[in-house]
Amino acid sequence: MKFSLEEKGFKKVKHLNYDTVKEYLERKIEKGYSEKTIKVNATALQKFFSTIGREDLTENLQRDYASFYSQGSNPRVTRGFSNPLRVINNLKDPVHRIVAELQLRTGARIGDVKKIQIDYENKEVIISKSKGGRTRKIDFKKLISSDPTKLDEFERIVELKKQLDEALKERDWKEIRGSGGKVGSYYKDLRNAAKLSGESYGGAHQFRANYAENFWKWGELQGWPEEKIATTLEEHLGHSRIYWCKRYSGR
């Protein structure tokens, strides 16, 4: 188990204790892994430990099995929060609120938030080297030509990015996002904020889904045909298949 070797210093499986196994699964839960994934991981660990004669770990996993997977995220929830702004307001950490609002307003993956670049002259929000090496771009000039109020949205993103850059002079991004198997403080705060808001938690990707839902509705109000909305979302979300854009938007 790479997690135990790197984090806890265990060189042999026989030295593993149950607290380490629990922490491994709890970190996956905090990162928003689904119930199904948690079940698969817990079951695989049970079989593995049983095979190597660590029945103590197997028995503990069997005892806590339902407790683990019941905390996993529900994949049906990845259609977005019903009230994302309320969730953001319930985040305890002000830096987390900045990150969450940037996700909501740009559709950025959590790993891409720090990469956001602003081309103020051309009114573009750009994320280079996103997932799969793709470059994501939101061309606000085009959006503003259809709806002048989009300028206010662009200005808000600019302000949020300035606030984030300033905050990261004192905060470690790895602590916020998580790194090396450690769950970032953002995920823990977001899970708690969702609970306080009466929302089911499906992970940080829910803000990305909210962006797609909001953009699709906006495109319909502008009278855009479905194909134009979908292809524009492809650029914004960094997906190469319209299927995924429609799935995020609930279509």
Model confidence over 131-162: pLDDT tens digits? 666 788 999 999 999 999 999 999 999 999 99
Query: Which residues lie across from 101 on neighbouring strands?
Result: none
Amino acid sitting at position 75? P
**Cα angle: 224, vertex 230, 233; to 5 degrees:** 105
Q: What is the mean pLDDT of the chain?
A: 83
Q: Report which DSSP code applies to 125.
A: E
Model pTM score:
0.71
Q: Which two tokens stand for residue 168?
A: 């990261």
User: How far is CA 125 from each of CA 30, 99, 195, 249, rounded to the nearest angstrom?
Assistant: 29, 15, 31, 20
Nearest one of 240, 238, 244 to 109, comparing CA atoms: 238
- What does each C-alpha distance from 190 to 3, 93, 170, 234 come to in angstroms? 23, 10, 21, 26
Q: Which residues pair with 73 in a beta bridge?
A: 34
For the domain made up of 81-249, the CATH class stated in words is mainly alpha
The answer to whether residues 93 and 185 touch, using CB atoms and an 8 Å cutoff, is yes
CB 61 within 8 A of CB 49: yes
**pLDDT tens, residue by residue, 207-251:** 988 999 999 999 999 999 988 998 898 888 875 444 444 555 455
Q: What was the pLDDT predicted at 172?
A: 94
pLDDT in tens, 36-81: 888 888 888 888 888 888 888 888 888 877 766 656 665 554 578 9
Place of tokens 């940037």: 102
Higher pLDDT, 203 or 34: 203
Cα 125 off chain centre by: 19
Residue 17 pLDDT class (50, 70, 90 cuts): confident
What are the extents of the domains in the chain? Answer: 2-72, 81-249
Closest CA to 19 of 6, 31, 9, 4: 4
Confidence of residue 10 (pLDDT cuts 50, 70, 90): very low
